Amino acid sequence: QVQLVESGGGLVQAGGSLRLSCAASISISTINVMGWYRQAPGKQRELVALWTRGGRTIYVDSVKGRFTSSTDSPKDTMYLQMNSLKPEDTAVYYCYANLLSKDYWGKGTLVTVSS
């Protein structure tokens, strides 16, 4: 079992920045796939960033150049640095991990970007 706990969401003005954190209950050095998804009101959940061990992090086109995902192994934490935020980035952001072919999700953290 893997528990993922997101934090760092909140209300920010357009153009501002936020950093989301995802704390894992196990060593992330054992996890090969982690990522961030988001779900805006009335929309389907979509991939924001996906990190695979030994590979590059991929980003959805709408956040390229603005969002950066990173991991801190000693802290077993993954981050999502979000810059130049836009109102259309408003969503609940979810942390995701895949371990031994099983998907795990956090409960999400709300990001609201005002215009």
pLDDT tens digits, 81-99: 999 999 999 999 999 999 9
Task: State the average pLDDT for the chain.
Answer: 96
Q: Is 16 helix (H, G, I), strand (E, B) or coil?
A: coil
User: Is residue 53 pLDDT above 90, yes or no?
Assistant: no
- Write phi, then psi, for 28 (nearest 5 degrees): -70, -10
User: Is residue 58 pLDDT above 80, yes or no?
Assistant: yes
Q: Which structure tokens are listed for 67?
A: 């969002």
Contacts of 110 (CB under 8 A, 6+ apart): 9, 10, 91, 92, 93
Q: How does DSSP classify residue 25?
A: S
| Residue 22 confidence (pLDDT) | 98
- Using CA atoms, how far apart are residues 112 and 43, in angstroms rounded to an integer? 15
